[in-house]
Amino acid sequence: MSTETQEKPIISVNDVDEELAEKYKSEANEYFKKQDFDTAIDLYTKAIAANPNVCIYYANRSFAYLKIECFGYALHDASRSVELDKSYVKGFYRRAAANMALGKWKEALKDYEFVTKMRPNDKDAKLKYNECNKIVKKIAFEKAISTEDNRKNIADSINLDAMTIEHEYEGPKLENGKVTLKFMKELMELYKNQGKLHRKFAYKILLDIKTYFMAQPSLVDVSIADDNKFTVCGDIHGQFFDLMNVFELNGLPSETNPYLFNGDFVDRGSFSVECIFTLFGFKLLFPNHFYMSRGNHESATMNQMYGFDGEVKSKYTAQMADLFTEVYNWLPLAHCLNKRVLVMHGGLFSRDDVTLDEIRKIDRNRQPPEDGPMCELLWSDPQPQDGRAPSKRGVGCQFGPDVTKTFLDLNKLDYVIRSHEVKNDGYEVAHDGKCITVFSAPNYCDTMGNKGAFITLKGQDMIPKYTTYEAVPHPNVKPMAYANSLLSLMC
């Protein structure tokens, strides 16, 4: 995939090849229709190289970047398109979408406002403007009433005793308030049949898991015995039936079959509630043999945009959605396996002097900041060339093999495992084998055609082994079914 974002200055018509540029654009459009976004981006880039003066080439490439979640690049291209033509409405649409994806609601609102003025009869533009305006006002209101002293703690307001279990409820029940293996097996069967866990048990799991995570450090040290197998899974993204397939292939979690799930459990896939309660249940059942790292999608902004917030409100309550936000704030940010391998969702840092001790001391009980080590653990990505670059996502940074080597040498580690990016084979080994990506959601969003993968290793040598798998069928509920309506322009 092309990562070029610095374009040539506008040049005279005598030096452009308009015919060649149009040819590349037409080819790119065909690959875009086939959802081969990387190839489309390369071809749009060639069109821009042949004729850098055409706003539509940048807007189209911006749309392709949106599809692969390179929001920083998408924002750059959309801005370039409106620089070339200040009346090009589609460019403003694209820029609004990129700003929304980055949680920059005010900037998005300005662009929607421009579009509604340019197209006063466009009902879709008016709808998006109104929706975005609601979000901006809601954020402003919450900020106005919120202080350190009066911020509500949702967990303290939950009254489990007041929740009645109806006689007709036939689903799994906690035993003396505790998760058991029997409960977990019944829960997974319930979810496979599209049933719903009773709200009293769902709230109890959330309250217990919050209490547990609050006692954990930001960096969790994990010991793996020489002959023991340990499994690392990447993004699940609400694909419950693919999660069940992982357990079919690799066995259920247990004290002899430990797992680490490396963030982005929810959003996009429309069975996120089922995924997160399954994972939280196993965490409570096997607290010392089942681990979970926070991903960039375990945050309020991502959940409001990409479906989890809407799904929880649909299946339970708005109060529960707020409680999930509290719980996610306490998820550990990274895990260190046998003092040799660091596992985090995103990647490494914009500084060379970050140590494991610094990660341990991060105050993580908050929404992800826009920069610094916590942000980078959740958002950063590797790049093939040495050095660092601004993130293609617009958050975090991109880091090269030299950055990885310096970090590993400083902290006496062998390699890092991270997730966060779709890979065709479900995994990718980069940086001379020192930076491994694992992604466990096959055919991501029912469109990408990628395999999923998980990593297994043994304590004695910590050598990673890869298992890949295809997507399995799921009930006819489309991805993003609960996503914010504003995202319709990105889908």
Q: Are the C-beta atoms of residues 72 and 461 closer than 8 Å to each other?
A: no
Classify 341 in phi/psi space as left (phi over 0), alpha (psi -120 to 50) or beta.
Answer: beta
Residue 192 carries which side chain, given as an amino acid letter? K
Pair of tokens at residue 306 = 């990409």
Q: Calculate the alpha carbon distances from 29 to 43, 70, 392 in Å.
A: 9, 18, 22
Alpha helix (H) residue ranges in 85-225: 89-101, 105-118, 123-145, 181-192, 199-214
Provide the β-strand partners of residue 284. none
Pair of tokens at residue 315 = 């299946």
**In the block, residue with structure tokens 């004290």:** 255
Residues 73, 59: Cα–Cα separation, whole Å: 11
Q: How many CB atoms lie within 10 A of CB 2?
A: 16
Q: Are the C-beta atoms of residues 134 and 100 closer than 8 Å to each other?
A: no
Q: Calculate the alpha carbon distances from 213 to 207, 275, 328, 334 in Å.
A: 10, 18, 9, 13
Q: Calculate the alpha carbon distances from 448 to 42, 356, 452 in Å.
A: 17, 35, 11
Alpha helix (H) residue ranges in 193-299: 199-214, 240-250, 272-285
Does 297 participate in catalysis according to the annotation? yes
**In the block, residue with structure tokens 């200055």:** 9
Burial class (CB in 10 A: 0-12, 13-18, 19+), 398: buried
Q: How many CB atoms lie within 10 A of CB 155?
A: 16
Which listed residue (76, 237, 289, 297) is catalytic? 297
Q: Are the C-beta atoms of residues 81 and 91 closer than 8 Å to each other?
A: yes
Residues 97, 89: Cα–Cα separation, whole Å: 13
3-state secondary structure 298-342: CCHHHHHHHCHHHHHHHHCCHHHHHHHHHHHCCCCCEEEECCCEE
Residues forming the active site: 297
